[in-house]
Amino acid sequence: MKIICKRKRARSTIMKLLSSAKGLPSNTDPKHKFGSGRKHKTSYAADTFLRIEIEKKPQLSALDVKNLHAELLQNVSF
């Protein structure tokens, strides 16, 4: 209970962490669970390009941007 109050986390979160760390040596954290979210539809470079494009012309709507860059945003819905 001290851990739960001190860390301000849910009891279930602390219990999962403790159970996953049970078989590990002391002072070792369990591995982070990767890949638990949806994959991005656009790359980092495309996001940067679109951000710059919108900063140049802030009056553009999302549909206008998609029509201007149809090949880049073909799998993205607005």
Q: Give the single-character DSSP code of 75.
A: T
Convert the pLDDT of each residue in 29-72 to its tens digit. Answer: 787 777 778 888 888 999 999 999 999 999 999 899 999 998 98
CA torsion 32→36→37→43, rounded to 10°? 60
Count the neighbouring beta carbons within 10 Å of the beta carbon of residue 21: 13
Convert the pLDDT of each residue in 6-23 to its tens digit. Answer: 667 788 887 888 888 888
pTM: 0.51
Domain boundaries, the chain: 42-78
